[in-house]
Structure 1
């Protein structure tokens, strides 16, 4: 008698080969070969356990594999006695299948009817199949967890947000509580901080750890230095003060380093309750991978925060300032950057009060974005300094021209700007005298109180382009109710309208100014910016700046 080895769904052995069991299973009305020895060899060669029963549930045949799986079964065994509970229950219930666990093995049985009310049960050991399926599901679950965690962590651009994600994401999938110990950025000092989240908490809790915490938790100091200690069960006292009051004694605890680009960003502590199994090999690898991703997210968020702070400082210094009040004058400025996320660009305006009145500047440097903003800052700072030694507008343009040409990087990059300077002086009758100097900038417009529009021809060459540049001059008087409107070419060259390509143009600008004649400068700026924004319709545009000057109302 030949005994087939255990295995998958292979069929009976014949001449040393295997065939699928479905090819030899009896069906209703079939008969076994007349030679009983051949029939027995066929049954014993099957890779499935075969048990046949009579109409009363008594075992009539047990093949070799069934005898190995169920040593308690013999021909004549009454299944009603409970010899094999899963099979016995199926026989009593008249079921066609059963699933049961027997001696630590998972079994699946399928019934086929035989003549005379008999039944043949084909039983397979599916322990390995289920283990493989469970492993596949577990791997899919781990992959899904890492994908979701990576997506969440990748969206954390704030350090505190990254810390909260690092503690909430692994609970309860990896642990019953998660704790991140980290050293905050300067000037907070070397005392460790922690943030914790446990299953059932309304949200993460944070605190400042006692310095003794580093020595009380085994492996924590090494993890903060980048080492990866092994997990272990610890006494509850070692985490007293950082776990929730009702958490109880911790079971398995795993400490993992949270690496960043410039070194460890912190340490992740995963804590399980005593009734939960410890970390197996795959869970350990998963926890380490999550900690590494969380550390990278924390380091990236911290770097982003530092850069955002730097950007805010630079932005504050480069954006057009709030105009200071000047006696006898009403002033208003407007600004739109060319879509840069930092809201800084190459157009600018500034106002410098003087003993006799004020000096204004409106300019448009070469380029866009951050590079143009850097040159803008250089021009504005140079003007602030040079005006102290030269208050006359045209002479001041000459000094600025020389300063830009003498810059160390002037030979490598374009350093020129169009610029309009205006010296404002109050007159006894309440009007303003404006002495203008221009360096290639669009001519300003005067809006008379009655609605008339007059251009002021200034001209001149761009500042910083040529050593022998010549600059234009002009003078205009503003009576009460009049306004001087200075603007950059981003206003007239704004492309939009019904077709999306037509320029706003000077005629449309003049019509808009005439419609608000006699209104305060702030109203004019607001009206004009809304018109240009509507004309653009959200399209990309050049930098826009404008400055409106008028005598103060009586």
Structure 2
């Protein structure tokens, strides 16, 4: 009972597979066996095994040497492969006196027991407990103890594998939902600021997408899906992937918005429509160094243009929110940037950031800030907007923040 209680305490402390496996082969030595080995299925035709041999000196309980290696089913000795595959067989089997081959090609002489762990059918695992010839064979009570210990090990291994799989899914989701790196576009400086509300998860409901066009220039998209968190991030990811496809059908921002709106709305009402505000723009550099921006918008905040004189112009576009109406009307505006001039597109996480006494950062404060950065590089402008908003925030909780800065390269 003392052994089992110690095992429960140790095996319940971690969701790390390596740490749990090390504990699983160290705890039963020498209480139950002279050598303990664990074989776990970690993926399709992929296994990993660990073994603790007390004949190898240890510097302390935390530094017990454990052999470990990745193997395939073909590397397993037949006697282990049979138990691993027999998911409906007995939970524990006694092993008579023999020379038992191990996954690393070695051989252990003696007797013992092999325990099939209570993992799911997709992740079978076994625990091997071997004793030297001069030690008594496992009796019924010790076989029962081995089964109880195997249950604790199986729960710890299963939890660690599930956690590992969830982490891998989350990492893949984050990678798919993060904005892609900015492309190099001739004659145009590009910079972004992107701060999700769930900063620890690195995902945001704000859409940020810049894609170089084959004939020069780029397609630029900034949007804000209603809500925040994982649901908004997934909806934003769907919109971004749809934009990649639509760009290959048409390069006209207004047409892209119209088709995207039709694809967003479920006329049968079977799925929830995610409302969004969005700006879709095409940007191209002209021969004289100026840059042409064609911006189509659906209910989004107006972009701001920083002229060389320091004047900040508001580009009122209008248009209806994406997903609000199957016959929604969208608007378009044309903006010319002379060399050194800048256009800033942003989401409401900037203007609605709450500061002292609940006051919002606001478009007026943003306009005043940008007036002091006329002619500055795009990266400096983006960084300064983000830092000013973060400094303004009175609480750590905030909406998603996304800023796209486009600057005509100065002569």
**Same structural fold, with TM-score higher than 0.5 when normalized by the shorter chain:** yes
1:544 corresponds in structure 2 to 401
| Residue number among 252, 260, 263 corresponding to 1:403 in the alignment | 263
Number of paired residues?
402
Alignment TM-score, normalising by the size of structure 1 = 0.65
CA distance in 1, matches of 2:263, 2:80: 62
Q: How far apart are residue 322 of structure 1 and its match?
A: 0.8
1:369 corresponds in structure 2 to 229
Q: How far apart are residue 156 of structure 1 and its match?
A: 2.2
Residue 12 of structure 2 aligns to a residue whose secondary structure is helix
Q: Does 1:423 align with 2:282?
A: yes
| Cα distance change of structure 1 residues 241 and 396 upon mapping to structure 2, 3 Å threshold | closer
The answer to whether the 8 Å contact 2:207/2:237 transfers is no
CA distance in 1, matches of 2:148, 2:21: 16
1:17 corresponds in structure 2 to none
Q: Equivalences for 1:137-286 in 2 at 5 Å?
A: 139=1, 141-152=2-13, 155-157=14-16, 159-188=17-46, 193-199=48-54, 200=57, 202-207=64-69, 208=71, 214-216=77-79, 220=83, 226-232=89-95, 234-235=97-98, 237-239=99-101, 249-250=109-110, 252-262=111-121, 265-274=124-133, 279=138, 283-286=142-145
| Cα distance change of structure 1 residues 496 and 167 upon mapping to structure 2, 3 Å threshold | farther
| Cα distance change of structure 1 residues 453 and 504 upon mapping to structure 2, 3 Å threshold | same
Q: Does 1:521 align with 2:378?
A: yes
CA distance in 2, matches of 1:533, 1:277: 69
CA distance in 2, matches of 1:527, 1:241: 58
Q: Does 1 or 2 have the higher relative contact order (CA < 8 Å, sep 6+)?
A: 2
Residue 462 of structure 1 aligns to a residue whose secondary structure is coil
CA distance in 1, matches of 2:371, 2:52: 64
> Cα RMSD over matched residues?
3.1
CA distance in 2, matches of 1:228, 1:360: 60
CA distance in 2, matches of 1:142, 1:163: 17
Q: How far apart are residue 488 of structure 1 and its match?
A: 0.5
Q: How far apart are residue 149 of structure 1 and its match?
A: 2.6
Q: State the Cα deviation string for residues 57-111 of structure 1 (Å, max 9, x = none).
A: xxxxxxxxxxxxxxxxxxxxxxxxxxxxxxxxxxxxxxxxxxxxxxxxxxxxxxx
CA distance in 1, matches of 2:95, 2:250: 76
Q: Which stretch of structure 1 is more off in the superposition, 379-388 or 485-494?
A: 379-388
The answer to whether the 8 Å contact 1:257/1:264 transfers is no
Which entry has the higher C-alpha Rg, 1 or 2?
A: 1
CA distance in 2, matches of 1:143, 1:255: 18
Unaligned runs of 5+ in 2: 59-63
The answer to whether the 8 Å contact 1:347/1:543 transfers is yes
| Cα distance change of structure 1 residues 307 and 356 upon mapping to structure 2, 3 Å threshold | same
CA distance in 2, matches of 1:209, 1:458: 61
CA distance in 1, matches of 2:394, 2:25: 44
| Cα distance change of structure 1 residues 339 and 264 upon mapping to structure 2, 3 Å threshold | closer
| Cα distance change of structure 1 residues 389 and 143 upon mapping to structure 2, 3 Å threshold | closer
2:328 corresponds in structure 1 to 469
Q: How far apart are residue 386 of structure 1 and its match?
A: 2.3
Alignment TM-score, normalising by the size of structure 2 = 0.85
CA distance in 2, matches of 1:281, 1:496: 69
Q: Equivalences for 1:19-38 in 2 at 5 Å?
A: none
Residue 231 of structure 1 aligns to a residue whose secondary structure is strand
Residue 90 of structure 2 aligns to a residue whose secondary structure is coil
Unaligned runs of 5+ in 1: 1-138
| Residue number among 313, 320, 325 corresponding to 2:172 in the alignment | 313
The answer to whether the 8 Å contact 2:38/2:50 transfers is yes
Residue 218 of structure 2 aligns to a residue whose secondary structure is strand
